[in-house]
């Protein structure tokens, strides 16, 4: 697994108790449950990440989490209007390229 770290490493590297997001799969109680806790660190800006499942051979199975901006194509800084950034539709093929490639 690339970029993996243990729960102990995550706690050790935590700088402050910043706001966190907890993502839980299986809201209907069918199948295995996966819980992912994301903690905002001091270098947080506007991160985009995806979480997906693969088989042992590295073949894509399904996405578990994709940011709403990527899923809908509406980004917080999507277009400029009157010299200000506003939400708007934006095609961003460079966003999450490895996930995009894996899912085909």
Residue by residue, DSSP assigns 25-93 as: S-TTS-S---EEEEE--TT-SS----EEEE-TT--EEEEEE--HHHHHSEEEEEEEETTEEEEEE---T
pLDDT, tens digit, 9 for 90 and up, residues 36-93: 777 777 777 677 889 899 999 999 999 888 888 888 888 877 778 888 888 888 777 7
* One domain for residues 102 and 76: yes
Query: In terms of pTM, does the model score above 0.75?
Result: no
pLDDT at residue 59, as a whole number? 95
Residue 2: pLDDT band (50, 70, 90) is: very low
Structure tokens at 94: 């460079």
Predicted local distance difference test score (pLDDT) of residue 17: 53
Residues 56 and 103 in one domain: yes
Do 61 and 14 lie in one domain? The reply is: no
Write out the residue range of the structural domain in which residue 103 sits: 50-104
Q: Is the pLDDT of residue 102 over 80?
A: yes
Shared domain check, 98 and 70: yes
Residues 40 and 54 placed together within one structural domain of the fold: no
* The pLDDT of residue 18 is above 60: no
Higher pLDDT, 2 or 76: 76
Do both 54 and 104 map to the same domain? yes
Number of domains observed in the structure of the chain: 2
Cα distance between residue 37 and residue 77, in whole Å: 25
End-to-end CA distance of the chain: 20
- What pLDDT score does 25 carry? 66
* Same domain for 57 and 41: no
- For 33, the token pair is 């449950």
Q: Based on the domain organization, do 39 and 56 belong to the same domain?
A: no
């Amino acid at each position: 697994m690339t970029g993996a770290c243990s729960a102990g490493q995550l706690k050790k590297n935590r700088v402050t108790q910043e706001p966190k997001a907890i993502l839980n799969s299986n809201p209907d109680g069918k199948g295995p449950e996966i819980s992912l806790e994301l903690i905002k660190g001091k270098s947080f800006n506007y991160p985009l990440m995806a979480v997906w499942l693969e088989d042992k051979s590295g073949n894509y199975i399904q996405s578990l989490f994709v940011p709403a901006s990527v899923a809908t194509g509406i980004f917080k800084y999507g277009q400029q209007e009157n010299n200000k950034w506003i939400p708007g539709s934006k095609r961003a093929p460079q966003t999450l390229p490895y996930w995009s490639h894996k899912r085909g």
